[in-house]
Structure 1
């Protein structure tokens, strides 16, 4: 890509988004990186402290569903690239408040697509970050990008619906979209509702790891740095109109994960590991695993380079070094400034 590009990242203060924003700001000092984020409970501006004073980084607090704000950004900021990560993602919460997931994940994507498409400046890429959960869970089948979408919970259903919107812009307008479907991404700064930081946080507070249900569930885990490398590679070499799985061969049974976290955080002998595990009721719909093949992405030269041992060691160490990171984020969750609100309404 040429120099002097302007990149809009939605959800750039979240776990994956903050890593992506930091990578873009540092790797491309001649690009402008704009982070649009409403700073929901699972986001923190502290995730971006290392770059907040960089001259090529701009933060805009706002809701991706706010069409006036989003249109204002595209009308004034000369956006060249969009990475759309803003979403509600916690499966358990999606059963409790499906309408909020519908609003953010589906309507937010519609608002963003509409604004990007109507903008006078032609967009170079619109990269939509989706999930392997759109395939539904299967114990044997390995999913490739042509596998049918069979989402089994409100979260994955909204991600699948958003994907269909994105692809419709390619089909109708040849709008330059790319979709990624990722395995479970983990690493430093992930909010504690996700399984790995949840286990770590519980143990740090001398509580047991809560294992949901008794079925033999497992997940494929991908370290966040490898996911970011995949996104950046797709920006450079990905084919528009295509879907790319982004995954790992690292499959970890959840029970094994709990045991491993107990050993690493509590440093107890094997005979006492089970004392730190507790079974709790499962969520309404359970998928045993989401195995995906990433041959299409690997043909572009991508490989997951971080071993499970290295990735989980770095992750645990970060939470040990930053035990209070998520304890108080009230200062992050302030309403949009009056000045910006005035500008987007006039």
Structure 2
């Protein structure tokens, strides 16, 4: 949608208690958040801003697409003129900023694109939100800012030690967001969540990727030994966490969204092989695993 498409908001701003902007709303996690917001907060107008990149789909939002308190706007957070006009026209009260490039492997190939979207795009957004005097700005980051191996204990005060371009871009964007709290006391909140899985996830991520490979009778590709562990959060659980932060999150705070559910990549593959290929045989499971050098 062009900037001209922003001229007439759906209903006067006064008809809704709050107007909430969710960026990247056609993506995996944000679409789950939007569905919950639209259904649970009928007095809130939920505005979905998404440029509809390769991993986004409006099909994720079909269940609420005709609701009176939902609106979709196609646009790019990196377009500063568009974003400024969006805030002026839509009278945004709260921002949930999910929009980002998120695929770690791809970030090594397209590092500058990740920097542009994740850092510059976030700076454009937080600057416009500050100028519009938004009452709360929630920046959705990742626990990957703590480093590649999360076996060690960490909390919100732990130093950022990103080990890939994706994590580095999220850490840098955090700094820009946090600076608006430090300098202007602009009410920003930062969340850092573990890996999320669930319906509508794009198959570049490990769980849907392994499921898709096995369903097509192909092997699960595992880097290195596969013994590296990851924490996994189910989509509805992380939505609950975001809604809690929306209601109770304090300005200037950082919140880790974690889980005790931990599994190695190899064990994850075996669990999926067991479910999809219906086998408990270790030797048969190994036939569905392909190990590659972790270079």
Q: CA deviation at 1:30?
A: 1.1
Please give the root-mean-square deviation of Cα atoms over the aligned residues, in Å: 1.3
Q: Do 2:226 and 2:264's aligned partners in 1 also have CA atoms closer than 8 Å? A: no
Q: CA deviation at 1:215?
A: 5.3
Q: How is 1:141-290 mapped onto 2 (pairs within 5 angstroms)? A: 141-214=152-225, 216-270=227-281, 271-282=283-294, 284=295
Per-residue CA deviations over 1:47-103 (Å, capped at 9, x if unaligned) read 001011111111011111011111111001110000000000001000001000001
Question: What is the aligned residue count?
Answer: 280
Give 3-state SS (helix, strand or coil) of 1:249's partner.
Answer: coil
State the TM-score, normalized to the length of structure 1: 0.79
Matched with 2:7 is none
Runs of 4+ in 1 over 3 A off after TM superposition: none
Q: CA deviation at 1:214?
A: 1.8
Equivalent-residue separation in structure 1 for 2:137 and 2:25 (angstroms): 15
State the TM-score, normalized to the length of structure 2: 0.92
Q: Which runs of no fewer than 5 residues in structure 1 stay unpaired?
A: 285-346
Equivalent-residue separation in structure 1 for 2:206 and 2:59 (angstroms): 22
Matched with 2:4 is none
Give 3-state SS (helix, strand or coil) of 2:287's partner.
Answer: helix
Equivalent-residue separation in structure 2 for 1:33 and 1:153 (angstroms): 33
Q: Which runs of no fewer than 5 residues in structure 2 stay unpaired?
A: 1-15
Per-residue CA deviations over 1:252-299 (Å, capped at 9, x if unaligned) read 0110000000111121342411111111232x5xxxxxxxxxxxxxxx
Matched with 2:55 is 42
Equivalent-residue separation in structure 2 for 1:137 and 1:202 (angstroms): 25
Q: How is 1:76-155 mapped onto 2 (pairs within 5 angstroms)? A: 76-119=89-132, 122-138=133-149, 140-155=151-166
Q: CA deviation at 1:245?
A: 0.3
Q: CA deviation at 1:190?
A: 0.4
